[in-house]
Every structure is written in C-alpha cells, then in structure tokens.
Amino acid sequence: MTVLQNFEKTVLSEVCPAGEAWMCEVKKGQYFRIIDLEGNQAVDTLFISAENPSERYSATDTLAINQYIYLEKGTTLYSNVGRPMAIIHDDNCGRHDTLGGACSCESNTVRYAHETYPMHSCRNNFMYALAKHPIAQKHGLNVRHIGPNINFFMNVPVTAEGALKFEDGISAPGKYVEIQAKMDLIMLISNCPQLNNPCNAYNPTQIQLVVREGEEA
C-alpha cells in the first residue's frame, strides 16, 4: 500500500475501502484529488450540481465540446446544460474513460454470464448511497440522479471499428487525478468492485480522497 498523501489547506482526507460507495460535497474553486493507492483501481464517479441536482455531468457534451474521446489533464467536464462543472487540473495517470459506463448486475449478466448477476456492482453502490447517505438526503437525491459517469484510472480503448475494449489498467500505486470544481458539486463515487474484467486487476483495492482549498483561499 502506498503511504497516504498529505496536502496544505486540506478540508477532507479519507480512505474509501475496496468495492464501496463514497460521497462528499466540493465547493466551487476547491480541488478534489483521487489517489489510486495500490494501482489499477477503477473509480466510477458521478458529478451533480449542488445548487440544482437536475444538472449533472454529461459524457456527450464533454466529448463533443472537447472533441476527444478520452479525458486527461486540461479536459473541462461539462453538464447536461452545457456548463463547465470542473476541469481536470492535474493528473499523472495519462487518460481516463467516460464511455464504458458503470457496471451493473444487468450488464455483468449480458457481458459475462448469468451466474454473475448477484455480484456487487457500481450501480448498486450508487443506488445504496443515494438512498442512505446524509448528503443525498440533504439534497433530495434518489436513483433518478444516476447519470453518465467517469471511470477514473480505467483503460477502455476504442478500436478502429468503434468497439470498446476493457483492458488492463494503466494506473499504478500512488497515481492520482485532481479536478477543480467550477461550481458547487456533489461527488458520488463507487470504488469499483468489478471482478469479471481486468479494470481492477481482478483485485479491487482502497483509494484515498482529498478535498483541499484553492490556491487563492
């Protein structure tokens, strides 16, 4: 396990166990860092506007406006009404996926085998957090607020024929991605429990999550 990272002006620093859900609020201008402590861990992430929860991250708007199918340092993340929600401020992994979606019992069944249906999934994590977490209750969130997500650290190359491939991760212990919020955000994470493809090296592990104040604060 990589040693936990420390930063100045830290507002929050927590570890999310393997396969679990996690939720927080990030204010406009704050930085939110996800650290892959042990390497090759996919982190499925939803971005929701704290001011208006019907506004949420849009993969289609983000890809269309940026004109690139992968997310990397400098990429602006856009909402379903075309407003900037956040920017990838720093990153030492290389690129991230927003096409593969979140794993679910149903998609596991279709992609792999009927026997995988009872296995834990990111969609289950999202649904549980939206039903039980105090932040979800504070903002009146429910399963209707599950929208497109980003799969940080996940390697999903697109073939020349336009197909998606779920490949071995390109992350490593201590790799990170950091976004800066362009509006007040609700962040909902599923620390992916997937065991049927190599996105987690068939061994889900814990991650560190850090919120810190902006440079001007």
User: Which pLDDT band holds residue 84 (cuts at 50, 70, 90)?
Assistant: very high
Q: What was the pLDDT predicted at 207? A: 97
* Tens-digit pLDDT profile for residues 143-186: 999 999 999 998 888 888 888 877 777 899 999 999 999 999 99
- 134 touches 140 (CB < 8 A): no
Q: Quick check: is 9 in a domain?
A: no
Please tell me the total count of domains within the chain.
1
Is position 6 within any domain? no
Q: What gap in Å lies between CA 114 and CA 212, rounded to an integer?
A: 43
Neighbours of 20 (CB within 10 A): 17
Mean pLDDT, residues 19-48? 96
Domain ranges, residue 19: 15-212
Question: Is the residue at 7 inside a domain?
Answer: no
C-alpha 49/C-alpha 157 separation (Å) is 29
Residue 2's nearest CA partner among 183, 211, 173, 189 is 173
